[in-house]
Amino acid sequence: MDTMDDNTCSLAVHTVHTVHTVHTVHTVHTVHSSLREQQLSTSDRLQKSVVNSLCSVEKQAVRVMVSR
């Protein structure tokens, strides 16, 4: 039977969380970049609002990732 001590389990959970956070930051960054490119050719106010919101989400996700 394979068992993990508390430290190993904690490290495994932290690693999975970190990988998930990095993936989330990458996904938000990709969507944000794509919308920013579209914004350059379109001056739609709603689209600008979405891009600005995604920028804020991306910055917050990076802050969370760095603080861990």
Over residues 31-64, the pLDDT tens digits come to 777 777 776 665 666 677 777 788 788 888 878 7
Q: What is the per-residue pLDDT for 39?
A: 65
39 close to 47: Cβ distance less than 8 angstroms? yes
Domain ranges of the chain: 43-68
Q: Dihedral of the CA atoms 47, 53, 54, 60 (nearest 10)?
A: 170
DSSP structural state of residue 30: H
The pTM assigned to this predicted structure is 0.39
3-class state of residue 4 by DSSP: coil
| Average pLDDT value for the chain | 71
Residue that wins the pLDDT comparison between 14 and 29: 29
Query: Would you say residue 1 has pLDDT above 60?
Result: no
